[in-house]
């Protein structure tokens, strides 16, 4: 079945955009001292890679680090700023992730979208969890973070593999994701929560894949159904030139902003605001390897690496939509 298999692969993809730069997805978290790797043999290369990644990541979760994560998860935040003051510099974050803050502006981006610690939020295609490790402790006490989950007993082998990868993602993250809740995906549909329950659906650098694999109807319907009336669909997306053809730009990772806005609005959303928080005028958007030629992936290898590093991460649209009908 083409649609569910594609949807699962995209939700589990490396950041669903950072090729080779990130990993998988999570909950029903295991006990804190469970091992990272499954005792069952790997059935495909993705699962084997997830097992190795989880085992490696688990090594850094000392009792002291687990205690820090538990403290953050148990904190009742007075504001988004208070949470970010504590979480962004915390060692709970994967080493190296904080280096991307200057390009991704997590504090400013989440503030622009209007996220608060008491919200119920679904994150689409969390990859290796760059934003997830910020969102999980931020929402743990007063709100709730939801991620895609999968049925380990399903007939579909993609669901089974995805469920195992999700379990490994959680185990490799110590006790950080113990409060995160999974939304099990009902084949052949996509689900982002029970109807009218989510305050926000977050989509980071994923819309080019939605277009490439014709997932508009499935994903927009799922987001619209899950959001409360007036709920926020928050999108950050690599930005093509305004007059670009989306069929040509999407395989390169980019989407034209005016077209993207019109397309999303056709599914019962209204653009409330847009921002250049994540803009980068140095991005020429004409690379042989698409957006993946830029950091953090640097798909061009050593040739042109210095130029790519000097450009930095991609130019990005930051769009705040609200559910209107």
Helices 2-12 and 157-171: crossing angle, nearest 10°? 10
The CATH number of whichever domain residue 168 belongs to comes to: 3.40.50.150
Q: How far is CA 222 from CA 16, 171, 198, 212, 260, in A?
A: 18, 28, 11, 18, 18
By the 10 Å C-beta count (0-12 exposed, 13-18 middle, 19+ buried), 62 is classed as exposed
Range of the domain at 53: 2-323
Contact 143, 118 (CB under 8 A): yes
Domain count, the chain: 1
Number of H helices, E strands in the chain: 13, 8
Going residue by residue through the chain (325 aa), what tens digit of pLDDT does each one get? Answer: 344 556 666 666 544 444 433 332 222 222 222 333 333 444 567 788 889 999 999 999 999 999 999 999 999 999 999 999 999 999 999 999 999 999 999 999 999 999 999 999 999 988 889 999 999 999 999 999 999 999 999 888 888 888 999 999 889 999 999 999 999 998 778 999 999 999 999 999 999 999 999 999 999 999 999 999 999 999 999 999 999 999 999 999 999 999 999 999 999 999 999 999 999 999 999 999 999 999 999 999 998 999 999 999 999 999 999 999 8
- DSSP annotation of 271: E
Contact 251, 289 (CB under 8 A): no
Beta partners for 238?
316
- Give the Cα separation of 148 and 117 in Å (integer): 20
Instruction: Give 3-state DSSP helix, strand, coil % of the chain, rounded to 5.
Output: 40, 15, 45
Q: Supply the pLDDT for residue 48.
A: 87
Q: Rounded to 5 degrees, what angle do the CA atoms 8, 12, 14 make?
A: 140
- Give the Cα separation of 175 and 167 in Å (integer): 12
User: Hey, what are 57's tokens?
Assistant: 């990541």
- Give the Cα separation of 291 and 102 in Å (integer): 18
Tracing tokens 């007993």 back to the chain, one arrives at: 153
**DSSP 3-state assignment of 138?**
helix
Q: Nearest CA to 223 among 178, 183, 253, 281?
A: 183
User: Hey, what are 108's tokens?
Assistant: 């400013």
């Amino acid at each position: 079945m083409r649609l569910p298999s594609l949807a699962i692969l995209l939700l589990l993809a490396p950041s669903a955009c950072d090729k080779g730069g990130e990993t998988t997805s999570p909950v029903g978290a295991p006990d804190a001292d469970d091992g990272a790797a499954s005792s069952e043999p790997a059935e495909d290369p993705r699962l084997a890679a997830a097992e190795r990644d989880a085992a490696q990541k688990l090594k850094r979760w000392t009792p002291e680090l687990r205690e820090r994560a538990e403290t953050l998860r148990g904190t009742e935040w007075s504001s988004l700023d208070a949470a970010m003051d504590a979480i962004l510099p915390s060692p709970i974050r994967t080493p190296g992730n904080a280096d991307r803050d200057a390009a991704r502006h997590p504090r400013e981006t989440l503030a622009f979208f209007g996220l608060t610690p008491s919200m119920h939020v679904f994150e689409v295609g969390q990859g290796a969890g760059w934003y997830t490790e910020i969102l999980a402790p931020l929402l743990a006490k007063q709100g709730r973070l939801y991620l895609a989950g999968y049925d380990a007993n399903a007939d579909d082998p993609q669901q089974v593999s995805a469920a195992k990868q999700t379990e490994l993602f959680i185990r490799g993250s110590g006790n950080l994701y113990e409060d995160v809740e999974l939304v099990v995906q009902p084949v052949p549909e996509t689900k982002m929560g029970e109807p009218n329950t989510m305050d926000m659906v977050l989509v980071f650098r994923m819309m080019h894949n939605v277009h490439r694999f014709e997932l508009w109807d499935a994903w927009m319907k799922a987001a619209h159904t899950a959001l409360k009336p007036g709920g926020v669909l928050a999108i950050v997306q690599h930005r093509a030139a305004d007059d670009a053809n989306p069929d040509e730009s999407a395989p390169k990772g980019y989407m034209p902003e005016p077209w993207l806005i019109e397309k999303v609005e056709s599914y019962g959303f209204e653009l409330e605001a847009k921002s250049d928080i994540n803009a980068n005028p140095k991005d020429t958007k004409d690379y042989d390897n698409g957006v993946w030629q830029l950091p953090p992936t640097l798909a061009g290898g050593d040739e042109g690496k210095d130029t790519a590093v000097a450009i930095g991460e991609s130019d990005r649209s930051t769009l705040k939509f609200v559910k209107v009908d």
